[in-house]
Structure 1
Amino acid sequence: MALSSDNLQVFLAVLDHGSFSAAARSLRRVPSAVSMAIANLEAELDLQLFDRSGREPRPTDAARSLEPQARLVDAQLKALQVQALGLTQGLESRLTLAIAPELLAAPWSAALAALAAEHPLLEVEVLAAPQADALAMLHTGRAQLALVFERPSLDGREGFQEVSSETLVCVMAPDHPALALAGGRLREEHLINTRQIVVAGRDLASHDPRFAFGRHSWRTDNALAALALISAGLGWGWLPRNLVRPHVAAGSLVEIAFENLSNSLDLWVDVVWSKERPLGLGAQRLVSLIARQRRG
């Protein structure tokens, strides 16, 4: 077959270095071997790739025409070699990251982009799941990593790395009756007796007491759905400030002003893994990249 990985490498080396001898040095071969490889390639393709009439070989139009595709194939071959080496060293065939929906805007994509640059053929799956569900996926092996808020207590089965922090705020539609009744400044008892919109897992038994304390609540597993319900005046809820900021600026939501407490809850955001399952090479590297990003 004319175009093998070896003669493709030789062809590109001559293009890059401008001569058979310089290409040979870069490939650690003798010039005659490079010259012969190019001659054999030309014979197989029935094309003249280099004009040898001058002191140094000059690429022909045919060579320049083949160059873009040759470089693409060479890059794909190198990526394939990196992937094959990674698999022998423990690289996963697929890396699944489960993310709490409130954290989809958290700084996780830059580390994933760096991982993709190192392992371009690694298959990655990003799933949005309520925190309880994301952690359940972690412990069943459906996901290798989970991006979630700090947990109320440590779980000995879990390892984690801090990623960033996120501020949650209580928000409500500006025309919600509770605001009018309280004169615009609420106390915690007003929230307890007003419908709360809660982002929670699909298991009805799962709830986080830090976020769910209204006597009457509606549940959703999606932060955007919660945002829509709250904006429609159907209740109040805790949402990330980064998510609600443009809606507050537009006047469709208000951060509730309280009479007797501040309206903010600062939480760490962690990437979590199960200590009961060994992490593959990709997951280990992603955690390392996130740690580096955290250190700045």
Structure 2
Amino acid sequence: MPESRRQALTPDALLMMDTIARCGSFAAAARELGRVPSALTYSVRQLEEALDVLLFDRRSRQAQLTAAGQELLNEGRRLLAEMDAVANRVRRVATGWESELTIVADGVVSRLVMFELIEGFYAQRMADGQPPGTRLKLRREIMAGTWEALVTGQADLSIGVMLGGTPQAGIELQPLGEVEFVFCVAPHHPLAAGDAPLTDEQIFAHRAVAVADSAQRMSPVTVNLLPGQDVLTVPTMAAKVEALLRCLGCGFVPEPQARDHLRAGRLVARQVARQRVPARFGYAWRRNAARGQALQWWLGQLDSPTTRAALLDRHCGLLEPLE
């Protein structure tokens, strides 16, 4: 590769491409990066000249990538993730404790138990009596979003990943447990009455409530929706339960998260004719020979069958969704 091209492909240039693509316009990206739009446009042109390619379609009013631009974006994101991973590994080797640990939890995972684990983590003391210096970042992702955060380097540990496929190279995976999903409606919903299992035709006639898959780049997962059915899409499982309580639709909910509402009569569970099996979940982390002590602590907690069961089953005590 000519020296000018190598010099042009800096981390700042790759980050600039990522920001423009994510924001959808040069103006929005300039605001996020703290630059004026003209300076950002000039930087893009310099990069295009160095690479001798067009990265954006000038005929579009939006920041529309060309095929070459999309390839640079994909590879750039991978390189940025690798650079972050290298920096993290260097810090881990030096201190033994990660400077930062990012944990992703799916919507099926108990927020209450997650915060209990965080309390236990901060209660630790090292040999000198000081707490570990690792900064924890807790994120909520949905379905394929839990995998995406891990494989793109945005997370160190994902709890509640959906099982079924083969994990990517470099990913360690262990089972977390199974969760039964129940079909729920409000007591005054048209589907609440009756004893016979509901057919797909009966369900199709009513609006479904679905939680949006949070994946941005990986293929999103669609579960329990019928083709062509009217859908209300919400961001979290807590929001889905709220929508069901307000009779805004029908849908499947993890039984532990619906349990108290079912007992109190605020929701009604109906059997469905479609054959169903419990959903299987796991936890996964990136394979790393220099694994830090913070990640080791969390994996040690997840070794406990009691902890794994609680993460899927104990959903009382917190009402506000974790964003």
| 1:227 equivalenced with 2:233 (yes/no) | no
Q: Quote the Cα distance in structure 1 between the aligned partners of 2:259 and 2:237.
A: 14
Structure 1 residue aligned with 2:226, among 213, 219, 222? 213
Change in 2 beyond 3 A, CA 1:199/1:168: same
Which position in structure 1 is the counterpart of 2:101?
95
1:1-296 matches, within 5 Å, as 88-105=94-111, 107-109=113-115, 111-118=117-124, 120-121=131-132, 122-157=134-169, 158-180=171-193, 185-203=197-215, 206-213=219-226, 215-216=228-229, 217-258=231-272, 260=273, 265-275=277-287, 279-293=291-305
What SS does the aligned partner of 2:226 have? coil
CA gap 1:215/1:206 in 2 versus in 1, 3 angstroms: farther
The 1:103/1:265 distance shift into structure 2, 3 A limit, reads farther
Question: How has the CA–CA distance of structure 1 residues 86 and 142 changed in structure 2, closer, same or farther, with 3 Å as cutoff?
Answer: closer
Encode CA deviations 1:216-259: one digit per residue, 9 max, x unaligned: 2222221111111111112112211111111112212111133x
CA gap of 1:192–1:207, structure 2 versus 1, over 3 A, is farther
- CA distance, structure 2, for counterparts of residue 148 and residue 289 of structure 1: 15
Structure 2 segments unaligned to the other structure (5+ residues): 1-90, 126-130, 309-323
User: Given the superposition, is the C-alpha separation of residues 138 and 215 from structure 1 closer, same or farther in structure 2, using an over 3 Å criterion?
Assistant: same
TM-score by length of 1: 0.60
CA contact (8 A) 1:195 1:214 kept: no
Q: Indicate the structure with greater strand content.
A: 1
TM-aligned CA distance change 1:274 to 1:220, over 3 Å: farther
The alpha carbon displacement at 1:261 in A equals: 5.0
Cα–Cα, structure 1 residues 294 and 252, in superposed 2: closer, same or farther, change >3 Å?
Answer: closer
Aligned to 1:17: none
Q: Distance in 2 between matches of 1:225 and 1:279?
A: 36
Cα shift readout 1:134-182 (whole Å, capped 9, x = no counterpart): 32221222211111243331223331222333222111112112345x6
Alignment gaps of 5+ in structure 1: 1-84
Cα distance in 1, alignment partners of residues 291 and 297 from structure 2:
10
How far, CA to CA, are the matches of 1:278 and 1:194 in structure 2? 52
CA distance in 2, matches of 1:154, 1:116: 34
Does the CA-based 8 Å contact 2:98-2:292 persist in structure 1?
A: yes
Number of aligned residue pairs: give it: 209
Q: Aligned in 2, Cα 1:252/1:124: closer, same or farther, shift over 3 Å?
A: same
- Against the structure 1 CA distance between its residues 113 and 160, is the aligned structure 2 distance closer, same or farther, given a 3 Å change threshold? farther
Post-superposition Cα deviations, 1:32-53, rounded to whole Å, max 9, x if no partner, equal: xxxxxxxxxxxxxxxxxxxxxx
Shift of 1:192: 3.3
Structure 1 residue 188: deviation in Å?
Answer: 2.7
Rg larger for: 1
* Root mean square deviation of aligned Cα: 3.2
Post-superposition offset of 1:294: 5.4
DSSP-derived class of the 1:174 partner:
coil
Cα shift readout 1:47-92 (whole Å, capped 9, x = no counterpart): xxxxxxxxxxxxxxxxxxxxxxxxxxxxxxxxxxxxxx98735311
Q: From the superposition, tell whether residues 175 and 159 of structure 1 become closer, same or farther in structure 2 (CA, over 3 Å).
A: same
| CA distance in 2 between partners of 1:231 and 1:191 (Å) | 17
